[in-house]
């Protein structure tokens, strides 16, 4: 493309190569650099496509730029840097969705909606959303966008597009109910609708045989069920889902991508929560706490996104707190109490 003088396609290829390099980066610094450069080249390429009047390519590249910003976000630790990147990423995802809708590009429309879902989920780690009317209205707008996207996709037979749309819509409905709806009955309706949409997303993801989308659906499905208090629902599926997540994540075992982080964050969250549920036996709760600690520690090895790191330290704190309560020997209890305090201080330090 460089020899032919096709500059926007040349930049697009370079950006995709850098994006792929970020997925297999050998360090956090290497991954951050690759995704940062990928984002900038995608933006430059989209601007050139736009000047040429090539809306199809511009929409596609804007969607890819938004995706690069999402991956880059997971390597950021400074709050100011995170806030700036969240704003830029959401703005680019919005532009990609609007242009994709205009030209009827369902693939880019679905991808950009999926990215904005992830980016908006990350916002709650640095801002208080629950009583903020501005955020409530933003989420309402995105609920309408989800409904519109699903309507636009009627008749679509691409399972990857449908999987991305349904998992995004499921997230928005479920989390809107949990964050902004106070009436318990109404909240339950939102959560149930969200779970139903995510179950459909999982069907499409398996049909598409897309490993990352399958894992994504499993993660959000169980998290929303746990957040919505559907403990029986989670308990019935969590063992199989954790097993599937771990199996799907083997390909990323040696990478520094956020895929590897989520592969361990997912089971750490569930094992930690189950360790505190008193309807399990003490032996089961101890086993869950130990597994939660194991996965939480592993997730910290390849990540620098401070809000999620703080939550991992919370998992470690809670798991050791359970082991303090379950310990039968003083030395064992004191050891876990010391580690509990250590991790609590780490979480507090990051949260400041």
Total-model pTM: 0.87
Q: For residues 159-198, b (16+ Cβ closer than 10 Å) or e, as one string?
A: bbbbbbbbbbbbbbbbbbbbbbbeeeeebeebbebbbebb
Phi, psi of 226 (to 5 degrees): -70, -45
pLDDT tens per residue, range 112-130: 999 999 888 877 766 666 6
> Could you say which residues of the chain have pLDDT below 70?
1-5, 125-130, 251-258, 302-307, 351-352
Axis crossing angle, helix 306-326 with helix 330-351, rounded to the nearest 10: 160
CA pair distance 134, 143, nearest whole angstrom? 14
CA pair distance 158, 161, nearest whole angstrom? 5
CA pair distance 249, 253, nearest whole angstrom? 7
CA pair distance 337, 232, nearest whole angstrom? 30
Name the token pair of 122.
């990350």
CA pair distance 114, 135, nearest whole angstrom? 18
**Quick check: 300 and 265 in contact, CB under 8 A?**
no
Axis crossing angle, helix 159-180 with helix 133-152, rounded to the nearest 10: 150
* Per-residue confidence (pLDDT) for residue 287, from 0 to 100: 93
* Per-residue confidence (pLDDT) for residue 306, from 0 to 100: 65
Widest CA span in the chain: 74
* Per-residue confidence (pLDDT) for residue 255, from 0 to 100: 65
Residue 314: name the closest of 283, 349, 284, 278 by CA.
Answer: 349
Q: Is the four-CA dihedral 43, 46, 50, 56 of positive or negative sign? A: negative
Distances (CA, A) of 9 to 69, 108, 123, 139: 20, 17, 33, 35
CA pair distance 149, 130, nearest whole angstrom? 25
* Per-residue confidence (pLDDT) for residue 166, from 0 to 100: 97
């Amino acid at each position: 493309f460089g020899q032919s003088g096709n500059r926007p396609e040349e930049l697009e290829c370079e950006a995709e190569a850098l994006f792929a390099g970020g997925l297999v980066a050998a360090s956090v610094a290497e991954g951050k650099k690759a995704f940062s450069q990928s984002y900038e080249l995608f933006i430059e390429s989209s601007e050139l496509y736009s000047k040429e009047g090539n809306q199809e390519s511009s929409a596609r590249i804007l969607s890819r730029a938004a995706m690069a910003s999402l991956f880059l976000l997971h390597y950021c630790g400074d709050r100011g840097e995170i806030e700036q990147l969240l704003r830029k990423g959401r703005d680019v995802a919005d532009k990609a969705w609007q242009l994709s809708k205009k030209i009827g590009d369902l693939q880019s429309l679905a991808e950009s909606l999926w990215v904005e879902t992830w980016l908006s989920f990350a916002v709650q780690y640095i801002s208080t959303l629950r009583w903020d009317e501005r955020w409530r209205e933003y989420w309402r707008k995105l609920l309408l966008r989800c409904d519109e996207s699903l309507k636009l996709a009627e008749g679509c037979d691409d399972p990857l597009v449908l999987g991305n749309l349904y998992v995004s819509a499921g997230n928005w409905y479920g989390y809107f109910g949990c964050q902004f709806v106070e009436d318990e009955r109404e909240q339950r309706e939102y959560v149930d609708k969200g779970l139903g949409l995510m179950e459909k997303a999982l069907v499409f993801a398996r049909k598409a045989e897309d490993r990352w989308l399958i894992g994504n659906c499993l993660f959000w499905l169980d998290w929303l069920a746990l957040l919505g208090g559907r403990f029986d629902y989670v308990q019935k599926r969590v063992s199989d889902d954790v097993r599937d997540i771990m199996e799907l994540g083997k390909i990323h075992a040696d990478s520094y991508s956020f895929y590897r982080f989520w592969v361990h964050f997912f089971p750490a969250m569930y094992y930690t929560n189950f360790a505190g549920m008193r309807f399990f036996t003490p032996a089961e709760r101890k086993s869950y706490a130990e597994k939660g600690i194991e996965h939480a520690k592993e997730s910290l090895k390849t990540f620098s996104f401070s809000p999620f790191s703080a939550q991992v330290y919370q998992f470690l704190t809670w798991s050791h707190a359970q082991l303090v309560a379950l310990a039968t020997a003083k030395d064992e209890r004191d050891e876990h109490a010391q580690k509990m305090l250590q991790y609590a201080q780490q979480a507090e330090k990051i949260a400041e």
